[in-house]
Amino acid sequence: MGGVVLETLSNRKLSILAVSLLLLLFVFFLIGGLVAPAPSSVMNMLTTKCYDKHVYAHEKKWYIPRGLHACDQIDDLSNPVVNDKRIEASMVVFSLWLPYPRENKQLNMSRWFQNMLTVIQMDIEHHDNNPLSKYTNATMRMEVRLGYRNQQDNESDWKELISTHEDRPLRCDTDRVKDDYYRCELLSFFELGSVHYDYYLINIRLPVYQSKDVNLGLGTIKDIHIITIFQNGGFTKVWFSLKTTMFPVIIAVLVWFWRRVKLLSRQPNLLERTLLTLGIVLSIMNCPLEWFTLWFNLPWMSILSDIRQGAFYATLLSFWMIFAGEHIMVVPKNNLRSYWKHLTSVVFGCVCMFVFEMCEKGMQLANPFYTIWVSETGTQLALAFIILAGIAACTYFLFLSYMIYRVFKNISAKKTALPQMSNLRKNFYLGLIFRFKFLMVLTLLCAALTVIFFIISQVSEGQWKWGDDGISLEYSSAFLTGSVYGMWNVYVIGLLSLYAPSHKQYTQTNDTSDGSQEEEVQLTQIPTETSAMTSFISKEAQE
């Protein structure tokens, strides 16, 4: 009677393997908790109000907030001087040079930041002569220019990345007293898939066109704050190092696993093929392609990373369905078509995620200011998608829990046949059942943490876009490196190791002491054929 490594490995060797995997997972937690900084940082920066004297000039000019080529600044738009000089709204340019200086030293952006998300916070003051009440949910049209330059370039040599007109709905709470500020929702601004340049310059105009009803009723705008969220460079270095380390490790374990499978005299079964696919997809996700972003401008790398992670989600969720399903059946199906209902729902959900991703980030490759959160319909659809994605993830976990419960119930029903077995065979199956149940519990724990991370990541990314700054939902570096990335890698390594075909085989010999047939462990080079647990369930069910 053959088996897999999980069933035939001695308790001592199994303990060594389990402790090694736990230590590896603990190292992931330590790296995230002690070495890596927070995954992301947030900077709230105030724009500088520049005075454009040549607003109608044909040549476009960059308005720089500081330095040798600093613009003429306006301290307060409500200052009487503004009216005396007849400064119109189209003559005011809100300018921001990213990043801010610190201790009189100009800092620079880093390619280690990987991506950058920005939102706008409006400071609109309440005035009786220019109220916002009857213009609730007005649309603000911005003329935006986004430029860049590197450290070795001349301070005035800004190159244009994009120039566009963007509309943003202005949603504010108008229940405010005099000289107070309206409480307005955050406005989605732009998102860059790479931070390739040292400096970025933002110029914003809010021109008023009476004849076209553009920017009417926006109230008294005092200032514009731009909130920038980017990945910490220190965390990126740790993340790249982990992926670079785990990529060859997973490849080595995967080659070892498949080599053992190919030594068998039969064709690989469904579970083995699914494990191979899971290992390949994890290797693709681990492949540290992000290193290229340190030398090349690759704004599509974030989309590629999301696609790789989505493919891993789909494969992992499909594997759990097959893994549980193959141990529920009296006779394992060993056929992918038998799981078409389960897999179709998983694939459909992942395709919906991909379409949603491309509708936002795919369009941002051409226009970083594009977002589906601008319109009321787009916002409702995006929120509905996040809610449905969370519900679907929870439903999947409940269904998987039910399948694992059926596995436990099925195994418990077969335990009634154990008293009829010899002591050696009974002890073997008791130990096997304990090992298998323990692995199933770990599978359920891994699924729970995966679902939790998926929901948190969706909400954490979306909270900056739907404008609710009251929600604070973040995850730490230790959770990301340990409970998510480390757990996935350790779990897959454990599965590939424990479900690899074993080189041990159980044979039957005559025991002269009690006349019964007992089993003994015999080392052999003959490859195994079937899992002992599967054989036990099938055999006892048929009897």
Q: In 10 A of CB 389, how many CB atoms?
A: 18
Residue 142 sits in the same domain as residue 241: no
Question: Among 199, 231, 263, where does a domain finish?
Answer: 231
Residue 316 sits in the same domain as residue 196: no
Q: What are the b/e assignments for 189-205, b being 16+ CB within 10 Å?
A: bbbbbbbbbbbbbbbbb
Strand partners, 223: 123
Query: What's the CA gap between 280 and 272, in Å, rounded?
Result: 12
Exposed, middle or buried: residue 420 (CB in 10 Å: 0-12, 13-18, 19+)? Answer: exposed
Residue 164 sits in the same domain as residue 285: no
pLDDT beyond 70 at 364 = yes
pLDDT at 256: 94
Displacement of CA 430 from its chain's centroid (Å)? 40
Residue 170 sits in the same domain as residue 248: no
pLDDT at 466: 52
What is this structure's pTM? 0.83
pLDDT in tens, 256-306: 999 998 888 888 888 889 999 999 999 999 999 999 999 999 999 999 998
Identify the residue with better confidence: 331 or 33.
33
Cis before residue 99, ω within 30 degrees of 0? Answer: yes
- With both helix axes pointing from N to C terminus, report the angle between 532-542 and 423-462 in degrees, rounded to the nearest 10: 110
Helix residue ranges per DSSP H, 415-471: 423-462
Question: Among 171, 199, 231, where does a domain finish?
Answer: 231
Mean pLDDT of 481-495: 90
Query: What's the CA gap between 188 and 194, in Å, rounded?
Result: 18
Residue 74 sits in the same domain as residue 165: yes
DSSP, residue by residue, 477-520: HHIIIIIIIIHHHHHHHHHHHHTSBPSEEEEEEE-TTTS-EEEE
Exposed, middle or buried: residue 475 (CB in 10 Å: 0-12, 13-18, 19+)? Answer: middle
Residue 372 sits in the same domain as residue 256: yes
Counting residues of the chain whose pLDDT is more than 70, the rounded percentage is 83
Phi then psi for residue 10, to 5 deg, are -65, 160
Q: Are 63 and 71 in contact (CB under 8 A)?
A: yes
pLDDT in tens, 455-486: 777 776 655 555 555 444 455 788 888 878 89
- Side-chain half-sphere of 484: how many Cα atoms within 13 Å? 22
Residue 105 sits in the same domain as residue 150: yes
Mean pLDDT of 60-81: 84
Query: What's the CA gap between 234 and 457, in Å, rounded?
Result: 20
Residue 421 sits in the same domain as residue 538: yes
Residue 61 sits in the same domain as residue 183: yes
Residue 217 sits in the same domain as residue 266: no
- Side-chain half-sphere of 154: how many Cα atoms within 13 Å? 4
Domain that includes residue 261, residue range: 5-39+234-542
Any residues with CB less than 8 A from the CB of 99 and at least 6 apart, and which?
A: 43, 107, 108, 109, 199, 228
pLDDT beyond 50 at 512 = no
Q: Are 307 and 354 in contact (CB under 8 A)?
A: yes
pLDDT at 464: 56
Domain count, the chain: 2
Q: Phi/psi zone of residue 137: left (φ > 0), alpha (ψ -120 to 50 degrees), beta?
A: left
Identify the residue with better confidence: 317 or 349.
317
pLDDT at 511: 43
Query: What's the CA gap between 433 and 536, in Å, rounded?
Result: 10
What is residue 279's DSSP assignment?
A: H
Residue 201 sits in the same domain as residue 90: yes
Question: Among 231, 249, 272, where does a domain finish?
Answer: 231
pLDDT at 523: 27
Query: What's the CA gap between 366 and 262, in Å, rounded?
Result: 47
Query: What's the CA gap between 296 and 528, in Å, rounded?
Result: 49
Q: In 10 A of CB 279, how many CB atoms?
A: 22
CATH number for 486: 1.20.1070
> pLDDT class for 517, splitting at 50, 70, 90?
very low
pLDDT at 535: 55
Residue 329 sits in the same domain as residue 403: yes
Displacement of CA 198 from its chain's centroid (Å)? 26
Q: In 10 A of CB 162, how many CB atoms?
A: 13
Of 247-251, 380-384, 439-443, which one has max mean pLDDT? 247-251
Q: Are 6 and 435 in contact (CB under 8 A)?
A: yes
- Written as one letter, the residue type at 104 is N
Of 46-60, 167-181, 299-313, 399-413, which one has max mean pLDDT? 299-313
